[in-house]
Every structure is written in structure tokens, then in C-alpha cells.
């Protein structure tokens, strides 16, 4: 249904993971146009913009998602999305703060800890980075550099390599 915001949102998220980022952005923008209060669509758009190499506009969308639904049960995803956008912008102290916030939820995922590990390593906080990476392995034992390349859809190769460099500094083997 072309008038159903959730359908556009879902398609946008699938297209993001398929690395069809321009198409994903269009679908997520359509979801928002159909429902200006759809927090997850704003987050999805922000997340996709980060992967597409547009972290500045991404922050605006993620901030809107947080403002629209400050008690969302998946707030950790919004916080982690903000952290990765800040990482790409090289605002590492802020990225570390948001990554840490995202790890505090009881339902947080492995990628929050992975973002925290990469950021902390770039800040020279190796012990904390190694501890964050240990949490990644606790939640996802088969986490690897290859997995990051497959699942984190960075369009800008330098962004992906910088993220992987942080994970390597934290202890991730190639």
C-alpha cells in the first residue's frame, strides 16, 4: 500500500541492508512524508544517511526520532545510530558518550558495544575498548572483520576502514 508509512519504512530498512542506499533514503523519506510523527522512520533515515556518508543530516533525523519518542524501548538503537554518525564526523568524545548510553539498555545489541569499542580505541582508551569488544563477543561470538564488512553498509570505504581500524585496536583479529 503506497499510503502505508510502515510499508515504506520496512522497505527502506531492507534496502539499507541491501546497500541500495539512495532507494532506501527515498522510501524512508516517503514514510516520514506520510507520517510526520514516525520516530522509527526518522531513525531509519538518519541511520541510512550515516551509511551513505551524510552524517550531518543524519544527526538531525536521529535527534528528531529521540525527541518524538524519548521512551522508546529500542532507544539504544537511536543512541547507537547517533554514536556512529558522530564517529564518522570525528566527534569522538561525543560518540563515546552516546555509544556508552546505548550499551546501558538491558536489550542492547552487540553493535552498540562494537561502536563503543571502535570509538574508545580511537580515543586511545585501549583497556575500555577491549572490554567493550569482549561484550561484543559475549553477545555475538562469531563477530569478525568480515562480518562488519558484510553487515555495516558503509558506502564510503574510508569510514568503514576507520571503523575497522578502531575495532582492530580494541583487539579484533583480521
Whether 1 shows a pLDDT value over 90: the answer reads no
In the DSSP assignment, the letter for residue 171 is T
Residue of 150, 122, 154 whose CA lies nearest to 53 = 154
- pTM of this prediction? 0.96
Q: What is the pLDDT of residue 174?
A: 81
Mean pLDDT of 144-162: 96
Whether 80 shows a pLDDT value over 90: the answer reads yes
Q: Report pLDDT digits (tens) over 13-37.
A: 999 999 999 999 999 999 999 999 9
Helix or strand holding residue 165 (H, E): helix 157-170
Q: Report pLDDT digits (tens) over 99-131.
A: 999 999 999 999 999 999 999 999 999 999 999
Q: What is the pLDDT of residue 93?
A: 98
Whether 155 shows a pLDDT value over 90: the answer reads yes
For a pLDDT cut of 90, what percent of the chain falls above it? 98
Q: List Cα–Cα distances, 124 to 9, 92, 93, 96, in angstroms.
A: 38, 11, 11, 12
Amino acid at each position: 500500500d503506497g499510503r502505508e508509512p510502515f510499508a515504506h519504512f520496512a522497505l527502506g530498512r531492507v534496502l539499507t541492508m541491501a546497500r541500495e542506499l539512495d532507494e532506501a533514503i527515498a522510501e524512508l523519506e516517503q514514510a516520514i512524508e506520510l507520517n510526520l510523527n514516525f520516530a522509527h522512520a526518522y531513525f531509519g533515515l538518519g541511520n541510512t544517511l550515516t551509511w551513505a556518508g551524510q552524517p550531518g543530516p543524519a544527526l538531525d533525523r536521529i535527534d528528531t526520532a529521540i525527541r518524538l519518542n524519548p521512551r522508546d524501548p529500542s532507544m539504544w538503537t537511536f543512541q547507537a545510530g547517533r554514536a556512529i554518525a558522530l564517529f564518522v564526523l570525528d566527534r569522538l568524545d561525543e560518540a563515546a558518550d552516546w555509544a556508552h548510553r546505548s550499551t546501558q539498555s538491558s536489550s542492547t545489541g552487540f553493535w552498540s558495544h562494537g561502536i563503543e569499542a571502535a570509538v574508545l580505541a580511537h580515543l586511545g582508551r585501549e583497556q575500555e575498548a577491549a572490554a567493550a569488544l569482549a561484550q561484543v563477543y559475549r553477545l555475538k561470538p562469531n563477530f569478525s572483520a568480515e562480518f562488519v564488512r558484510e553487515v555495516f553498509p558503509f558506502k564510503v570505504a574510508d569510514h568503514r576502514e576507520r571503523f575497522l581500524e578502531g575495532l582492530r585496536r580494541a583487539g579484533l583479529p583480521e
